[in-house]
């Protein structure tokens, strides 16, 4: 029998073993909800997410907004940060993923927050769909829903950032709450 050609990936055994990640129950509404923003430090991410937070309070009755900044945009947050945010927030909005590593990390963060019971809206620019979806799948959440805004975000002025935040608001709300027809 000839020699087999060896597999250089080492994944044959692990693919089947990975459990599916849990998803948090959706909220009926955002009324009174404590919104936690996880800002990934990318240019314009802070004003973008703060505007989303402001609009969630103003238009959807969210109770409060707290914000944290990622220490390293390229890698997922530690379990400690997830625990701390879970203590101070009911829903999470994170982004804005506009690079290879930070979009993937945003998806990874989203999967972890969901598993910790927090409905999460991950926002990335539309250039990074593939890597966002690949990372979610790697983390056991194939088909993980997320919101997109047009690329790029970093070069936008203050008013444009606000417009973009307003533009993604409906998608963010839809990601954090139950579809209305499920309540009917």
Partner 1 sequence: MTDTAPEAVAAGAPDPAPDPDEAQRAIEYCYQQDWSDGLPLVPASKPLVDQFLATTSRDPDEIIGSLEQVGRDCTVYLAAVNAAMAGCKPEYFPVVLAAFDALMRERAARGGGFQSTSGPAPLIVVNGPIRHELEFNTAGGAFGDGFRPNATIPRAIGLIVRNAFGIRQHVLGQATQGVPGRWSICIAENEEESPWEPLAANAGQPGGVSAVSATLTRTCEFIDNRATGVTEEVLRDFADTIGRLGPQIFPQTPVALVLCPEHAQQFAGSGYSKADVQNWLIEHSGRTVGEMRRAGKGHVLRFGASADAEPVSDEHFHRVLTEPRQIPVIVAGAKNAGISMVVRIFGEWSGIATPVGEKIK
Closer Cβ to partner 1, 27 or 68, answer by number: 68
Give least dist CB 24 to partner 1, A.
Answer: 21
Q: Which of 57, 67, 116, 134 binds partner 1 (CB under 8 A)?
A: 134
Stretch that binds partner 1, among 32-40, 49-57, 70-78, 117-125 (CB under 8 A): 70-78
Contact between 43 and partner 1 by CB under 8 A: the answer reads: yes
CB distance 141 to 106 below 8 Å = no
CA gap 142, 41 in Å, rounded: 26
Task: Output the 3-class SS for 110-166.
Answer: HHHHHHCCCCEEEEEEHHHHHHHHHHHHHCCCCCCCCEEECCCCCCCCHHHHHHHHH
Task: State yes or no: cis peptide before 96, omega within 30 of 0.
Answer: yes
- Residue 139 touches partner 1, criterion: CB under 8 A: yes
For 170, the token pair is 């409906």
**HSE (CB half, 13 Å, CA atoms) of 117?**
8
Q: Which of 32, 61, 66, 72 binds partner 1 (CB under 8 A)?
A: 72
Say whether residue 131 binds partner 1 (CB under 8 A): yes
143 binds partner 1 (CB under 8 A): no
DSSP category for residue 9: S
Per rule CB under 8 A, count of chain residues that contact partner 1: 30
Is residue 102 a contact point for partner 1 (CB under 8 A)?
yes
Is residue 9 a contact point for partner 1 (CB under 8 A)? yes
Which of 21, 5, 45 is CA-nearest to residue 109? 21
Residue nearer to partner 1 on the CB measure, 32 or 100 = 100
Q: Which two tokens stand for residue 183?
A: 């309540």
* CB of 175 vs partner 1, minimal distance in Å: 22
What are the residues binding partner 1 (CB under 8 A)? 3-11, 43, 72-76, 99-105, 108, 128, 130-131, 134-135, 138-139
């Amino acid at each position: 029998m000839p020699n087999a050609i060896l597999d250089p990936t080492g994944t044959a055994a692990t693919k089947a073993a990975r459990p599916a990640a849990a998803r948090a129950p959706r909220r009926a509404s955002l009324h009174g909800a404590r919104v936690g923003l996880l800002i990934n430090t990318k240019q314009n991410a802070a004003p973008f997410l703060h505007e989303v937070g402001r609009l969630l309070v103003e238009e959807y009755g969210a109770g409060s907004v707290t914000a944290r900044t990622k220490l390293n945009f390229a890698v997922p947050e530690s379990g400690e940060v997830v625990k701390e945010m879970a203590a101070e927030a009911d829903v999470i909005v994170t982004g804005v993923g506009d690079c290879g590593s930070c979009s993937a990390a945003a998806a990874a963060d989203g999967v972890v927050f969901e598993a910790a019971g927090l409905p999460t809206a991950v926002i990335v620019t539309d250039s990074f769909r593939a890597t966002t979806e690949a990372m979610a799948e790697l983390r056991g959440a194939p088909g993980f829903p997320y919101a997109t805004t047009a690329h790029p975000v970093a070069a936008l002025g203050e008013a444009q950032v606000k417009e973009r935040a307003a533009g993604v608001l409906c998608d963010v709300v839809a990601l954090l709450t139950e579809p209305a027809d499920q309540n009917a």
